[in-house]
């Protein structure tokens, strides 16, 4: 499989997707058309136009999955954008497109995800940061990697007066019920899968790896994480 899983699609002071243009150029090498899945936001046409504008300089034309029922089944590459993960998963499950994407990507179609699109590359949406604004039939997602991902991972601010749970506390609670590694990827970073090789790339901010019964581990950018592609997992365990 060829995967590019971005923590974020926007960065301060930069245009949409500009911070990851080299990574996008790499995974889309030799590809001149792409199908974009806009369901995580309500404005499908506007969202697709934003992606089309960003990818035009790379010589890649963009079709919205919502505009052509057969687009995903014949896509040369697939990009699933960010927004609300629950809304995205419900739309894909109800339409049957979740299975179409999974089949295409497992058979070699390059996949790009950002934020919610990165969430659904994992087996379940359970480690998303989003509010459940709709109720999908299930929490099942694509399972393109066997571990869980938490995009936009945010470290606790010791000076904050916020009394809610930190991101770390929420992930630890997930691990109390599930025996599945969770990789929190910070802003400006991404995961790149090339067949059976997985690396953390992007800014030097790195990531944080959580495992049941172990202390969180800092993962520097540039690390080889291929061993995570072979982990055994158990949900609700």
Catalytic amino acids? 115, 130, 152
Residues near 47 by Cβ (< 8 Å), separated by ≥ 6? 36, 38, 41, 64, 81, 83
Instruction: Could you list the beta-strand ranges (E) of 15-77.
Output: 33-37, 61-64
> What is the length of the chain?
237
Nearest of 64, 63, 120, 65 to residue 88 by alpha carbon: 120
Residue 140 φ then ψ, to 5°: -65, 135
- By the 8 A CB rule, do 151 and 8 touch? yes
Instruction: Could you list the beta-strand ranges (E) of 70-188.
Output: 78-80, 111-114, 148-150, 182-185
**DSSP H helix total and E strand total for the chain:** 6, 11
Residue 44 φ then ψ, to 5°: -65, -45
- By the 8 A CB rule, do 217 and 133 touch? no
């Amino acid at each position: 499989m060829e995967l590019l899983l971005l923590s974020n699609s926007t960065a301060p002071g930069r245009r949409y997707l500009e911070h990851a243009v080299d990574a996008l150029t790499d995974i889309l090498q030799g590809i001149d058309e792409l199908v974009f899945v806009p369901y995580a936001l309500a404005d499908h046409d506007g969202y697709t136009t934003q992606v089309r504008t960003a990818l035009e300089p790379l010589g890649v034309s963009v079709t919205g999955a919502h505009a052509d029922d057969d687009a995903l089944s014949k896509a040369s590459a697939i990009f699933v954008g960010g927004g609300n993960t629950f809304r995205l998963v419900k739309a894909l499950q109800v339409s049957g497109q979740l299975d179409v994407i999974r089949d295409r990507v497992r058979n070699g179609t390059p996949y790009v995800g950002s934020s919610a699109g990165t969430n659904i590359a994992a087996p379940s949406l359970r480690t998303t940061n989003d509010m459940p604004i709709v109720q999908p039939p299930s929490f099942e997602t694509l399972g393109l990697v066997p571990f869980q991902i938490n995009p936009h991972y945010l470290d606790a601010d010791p000076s904050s007066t916020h009394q809610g749970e930190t991101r770390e506390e929420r992930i630890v609670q997930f691990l109390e019920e599930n025996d599945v590694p969770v990789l929190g990827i910070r802003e400006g970073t991404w995961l790149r899968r090339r067949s059976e090789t997985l690396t953390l790339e992007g800014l030097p901010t790195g990531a944080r790896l959580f495992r049941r019964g172990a202390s969180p581990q800092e993962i520097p950018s540039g690390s080889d994480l291929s061993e995570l592609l072979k982990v055994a997992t158990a949900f609700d365990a």
